[in-house]
Amino acid sequence: MIQAFRRSGGRHGYQLFRCQHYHKSVLAIRREDVNAWERRAPLAPRHVKALAGLGYKVLVQPSNRRAIHEKDYVKAGGIIQEDISEACLILGVKRPPENKLIPKKMYGFFSHTIKAQEANMPLLDEILRKDIRLIDYEKMVDHRGVRVVAFGKWAGVAGMINILHGMGLRFLALGHHTPFMHIGMAHNYRNSSQAVQAVRDCGYEISLGLMPKSVGPITFVFTGTGNVSKGAQEMFNALPCEFVEPHELKEVSRAGDLRKVYGTVLSRHHHLVRKSDGVYDPVEYDKHPECYTSRFNTDIAPYATCVVNGIYWEQHTPRLLSRQDAQRLLTPLRPSAAATEGCPELPHKLVAICDISADTGGSIEFMTECTTIDSPFCMYDADQHIIHDSVEGLGILMCSIDNLPAQLPIESTECFGDMLFPYIEEMLLSDASEPFQSQNYSPVVRDAVITSNGTLTDKYKYIQKLRESRESTQSLGMDKKKKVLLLGSGYVSGPVIEYLSRDPCVEITAASVMKEQLKQLAKKHSSIVPVVMDVTEDEERLSSMVKKHDLVVSLLPYSFHPSVAKKCIDSKVNLVTASYLTPAMKELQQSVEAAGITVISEVGLDPGLDHMLAMECIDKAKEVGATVVSYTSFCGGLPAPEHSDNPLRYKFSWSPQGVLLNTIQPATYLKNGEIVNIPAGGALLDSVAVMDFFPGLNLEGFPNRDSTKYAEPYGIQSAHTLLRGTLRYRGYSKAVGGFVKLGLINTELCHLLRAAAPSMKWQELMCKLLGLKPPVKSDDLREAVYNKLDKDERQLEAIEWLGLLGDEPVPRADTLVGALAKHMEIKLSFGTGERDMIIMRNEIGISHPSGHMEEKYISLVVYGDAKGYSAMAKTVGYPTAIAAKMVLDGEINTKGMVIPLMKNVYGPILERVQAEGIVYNIQSVIKQ
């Protein structure tokens, strides 16, 4: 028989030891058909030639996508043939589709099944069903556990080319043309030699001093010492470079020569230290990596322009960079006197990260998804925890392509084939139908066999246990339905139901007195259980329903929440509401804690997202030792500009009565160190200021409630200005001021409008309010109202437009303001195809330890969908729903009254609302 063959020396030399054999086996190279960019093959023509020379038949499936032309395989002795069922050994690079697997064959490819990856379990099941013997290249390792078959070097080469190209684009976006602009993506070069020449040309310009001075010395950090890192360094060496020790990086990053670039190679001992004493012990680290931490974030990263990451990360091992590290690294540098508009300095030292390991959520925590060859770059914005496909804006340029060698397919194929070739013959001489134990494999091949004869091999039986464990966990989750009671069926209920219904384990009961609204909700969301009831009247029934649920989400008016909370306390059921944590709710704090439940308030828009955006910025400032000296926040729900076509420039997207009552509330705020008090009764409308941060929208704003009470919970007692307010289009306050003058925004009981009273027209009601005895002519009533309005034409226009001087009936209500609210809800409702808009603007002044001032401008603008949810419904409903889901899933388990001021609460909510289209923007302005 034929013994295994081994490399004999020389680049392409192979020595094959021939003995007598009884048949010639057939090998097939299958076509890659999973990814459009996959142009590699497991063997090159020279390997086919060596096998054909020994009398082996090599089939090659035709493929126009493969980088190496078919004629080269034919010339080497290969046979181009679609049908490869004759082969006993079928080799590929990536996994084949399940329907193309041929039974009782031996396959070799990267299967990505060894961690029981859920996405590839159908593939594994089909392999087992078809009695396929699978050899996974990833598990072909030597006696030290080092992989002997891999594309690692070419991942490093391609990754380095790509990130140099990306840095050219990123520098340009920051205002700098650099020599890196002359380097293309790796796949634009026929081979690495062409790429090397392009990098050398770039390096020549750098050596001539053509890098912008304001960019400063360029430094690269290479993590790891394996093939990936070596491949990247090989390309880096084509630049005028100087390698320094990690401890020297700080100095060269500040005072290095601009005519060269600097690199440092990082090994474990350079940054890993034991948590207890700061010492590195390699033997202990291998056994207990959880006892160690990395100093990369403080000792290395602050001095790196680009990090090229090539290390493999496992659970429990220290990360190189966390999200918090990114926030600190992206803190704006204080501009020097030499910086000008045309020659700006970099906003921060770290410009780019090339994560060649492409390990999502791994050593680079905020690398949460890989980029692609089609879209190779994205920006990670540490302030917003978002990733966007661009090279512009704030943040770090990221490149994390997970199939980099496919960009240099010919050399990758040749190199990979050289490593795989020594093991081919022993694979060919085996029989996939024979028992695995009877096969005479070398340890390298034997330990890489995942399946054989319809079962997992002994070494990989753990995969089934991993699957069973995961499936058991999922099954338990399915068995335990989580029951949610939703109270209310208004504007906000739709997004709440839609979000929670995404989880099939959540059952929702929606209770409301509004029968038609419930009917519409049930029609749109068939999974909910609608219950018509007046939760404010039928307390016994409400108590019974609360007991049967795991969580209550109350979308009722805030005045009803204490009653609902008491029911939740009695039944020990958690509660979530978007409304303010009122004094009446605060009185229940001890009872809530004693019951051991969670009651979350203020997780809507305002209050809600305003808190979260504020705390995210404030917490980041504190992390870098800065102090918040001012905070202003304005928010408003408005019609989109094209639909603000009435004298109030306003339409209702939430409780009309709440909107009107807000205008007569008292307000308190802090301005330049002085407390300003505005009394109740309408004086608020005289404290209106022009808001010009979006000049095209013509906005005004007025204070909202007591702003000063947030100094302590926000932890900004140092602030000299603290103001929260409401936004409207200019002219709104003037128009509503007319209602106050006429006494229409009155909360006292009005017997004239009760159900038992005779019906009344608006003109009759106005006569009574003005003390006019009927009959009164229309012109006389108009004149009297005009005089009462201090002859304000705009206020009179609003009164007349609403029909308050005409013969329309006044709606039945307990109060004047209640009747006006019902009337205005009809007059100022959104028409078909009209949409609303949410605007929130936070401005935060920050004093840094360095002495410079920073102004943070946080803007949130959300439009409603003409055929979907309103902006108000989305911005209140989705944060509320996310908070509810976090309570259900145990992400929020704090007992007592909770508002979203803690990072473990606001962080996930801010991240998840962006997936729902609620995206905010942060701008930073540094002042001397």
| DSSP annotation string for 855-875 | EEEEEEEEEPPTTS--HHHHH
Beta-strand ranges (E) seen in 660-766 are 667-671, 674-678, 689-691, 699-703, 721-729
Task: Report how far residue 471's alpha carbon sits from residue 473's, in angstroms, rounded to the nearest whole number.
Answer: 5
Query: Which of 325, 606, 610, 619 does the annotation list as catalytic?
Result: 606
Q: Residue 431 catalytic?
A: no
Token digits for 163? 């990130």
Q: Do the Cβ atoms of 162 and 401 come closer than 8 Å? A: yes
Kindly give the interhelix angle for 152-173 and 409-420, rounded to the nearest 10 degrees: 160
Query: Phi then psi for 423, rounded to 5 degrees?
Result: -110, 0
Question: Cβ atoms within 10 A of the Cβ of 4, count?
Answer: 18
Task: Report how far residue 425's alpha carbon sits from residue 423's, in angstroms, rounded to the nearest whole number.
Answer: 6
Residue partners of 184: CB distance under 8 A and separation at least 6: 161, 165, 198
Task: Report how far residue 499's alpha carbon sits from residue 528's, in angstroms, rounded to the nearest whole number.
Answer: 12
**Kind and range of the H or E element at 779?**
helix 778-788
Instruction: Specify the amino acid at residue 873.
Output: A
Q: Do the Cβ atoms of 308 and 356 come closer than 8 Å? A: yes
How big is the chain, counted in residues?
928
Query: Phi then psi for 39, rounded to 5 degrees?
Result: -110, 5
Q: Do the Cβ atoms of 171 and 215 come closer than 8 Å? A: yes
Q: Do the Cβ atoms of 505 and 478 come closer than 8 Å? A: yes
C-alpha angle 535-539-545 in degrees, rounded to nearest 5 = 75
Q: Do the Cβ atoms of 17 and 2 come closer than 8 Å? A: yes
Q: List alpha helices for 870-914, DSSP H.
A: 871-888, 903-913
Q: Do the Cβ atoms of 198 and 162 come closer than 8 Å? A: no
598-600 β-sheet, strand order: 529-532, 506-512, 482-487, 551-554, 574-577, 598-600, 896-898
End-to-end CA distance of the chain: 82
**Kind and range of the H or E element at 355?**
strand 352-355
Catalytically active residues, by annotation: 606
